[in-house]
Amino acid sequence: MKKDKVSSLIKKEEKRQKKVINLIPSENYVSPAVLKALGSVFTNKYSEGYPGSRYYSGQGNMDDAENLTISLACKIFKCKYANVQPLSGAMANWAVYFGLLKPGDKILAMDLSHGGHLTHGHSATHISKIFKFIFYITDEKTGKIDFKKLEKTALKEKPKMILAGFSSYTRSLDWKKFAGLAREAGAISVADISHIAGLVAGGVLENPFNAGFDVITTTTHKTLRGPRGGMILIRDNKLLAEKINKSVFPGLQGGPHMNNILAKAVCFEEVLSPSFKKYARQILKNTKAMEKVFRQNNVEMVFGGTDNHMILIDTTKNFGISGEEAQGILEKSGINVNKNVIPNDTRKPADPSGIRIGTPAVTTRGFKEKDCERTARKIITLLVSRREANKSTKIEL
């Protein structure tokens, strides 16, 4: 591809990102400093191994960068060990499974349609063929996790790992109950906080380590507002840390992307600033502002509302249209959301019953409560208009 074509694509994407209202919960905008690190000469260096133990020469600056990133991660999340090499959140989860378990071991995790994630054992993934996943779900009426059922399942199945975390669950998890249940069942406790890492780092949501969790996995983008990548945090167990390190390299990955690790350090320095705490608080305020508008307009929210940065809406029930159609309607009007499955969804994942709405990216752009209220009203107006149009033409779902 010609250089001018590449430049043109970059400019077009910059323009698109600036003009849309981005409500996709897993997306955000990194700072110019993070972008600069990603485009730095650190991308030129192979650094297989870990600081002080590499397989190539010329590693002084790479070691310093990785050690800095590790120390910042441990400071933010109040833990003793961190592996900052995972190329993604999926890779971080897999490294934990392979590092701490044996093939065939049981993992108790949240079902995908009830808010879990593909990497938590969905049958479409390769990982589900290696480990035996058992799933817990939310209560249809309350939208909360039935811990009595969860405890009964855990004590009966005796999983080797209990995984707490989500990709579309909008309520807070009781980390203490999960950690206590893991201890009772003799399981390793792992919290996947990929979606809420920035809210935990900003002090507005509880840190699972404070509740006694053994391991945390996370992405470094989303609410954390850093480069796309993953990270594994270990509270204080050196043996677990050593096993996880070996699982990441050489178990799953080769040379880490040092430009990305450097960009993670830049992000973590930003996270430690007072302005990031203000940003985290504003995310919650903005989401609650949207929740208020939906509630006032009788739009039922899956799980009954939100305690974090996102809202899940059943568009088939509220507006008589599928999640894919709702996503397309909103995109044409400059609003980006993502189609999403809902609990016990009767529709296919490619065209599910719901949409997922989040506020991290618009909060970075400076949105406050009133802006989010206006946006929520616009979403309702657009989807109601399509519902009425569909009624007049008798379109069946």
Q: Cα-atom radius of gyration of the chain, to the nearest Å?
A: 21
- Does a cis peptide bond (omega within 30 degrees of 0) precede residue 250? yes
DSSP state at residue 250: I
Question: b/e string for 149-178 if b means 16 or more Cβ within 10 A?
Answer: ebbebbeeeebbbbbbbbbbbbbebbbeeb
CB 22 within 8 A of CB 336: yes
Spatial separation of the C-alpha atoms in residues 187 and 167, rounded to whole Å:
22
Active-site residues: which are they?
46, 48, 192, 219, 222, 228
Q: Answer for the pair 174, 210: CB distance below 8 angstroms, yes or no.
A: no
Helices assigned H by DSSP within 137-211: 147-157, 175-185, 197-201
83-112 in b/e form (b: 16+ CB < 10 A) is: bbbbbbbbbbbbbbbbbbbeeebbbbbbbb
CA geometry: angle 30, 34, 39, nearest 5 deg = 120
d(CA 154, CA 313): 30
Please give the DSSP secondary-structure letter assigned to residue 134. E
* Helices marked H in 212-347: 238-246, 258-271, 274-296, 315-319, 323-332
Backbone angles phi, psi at 219, to 5 degrees: -85, 170
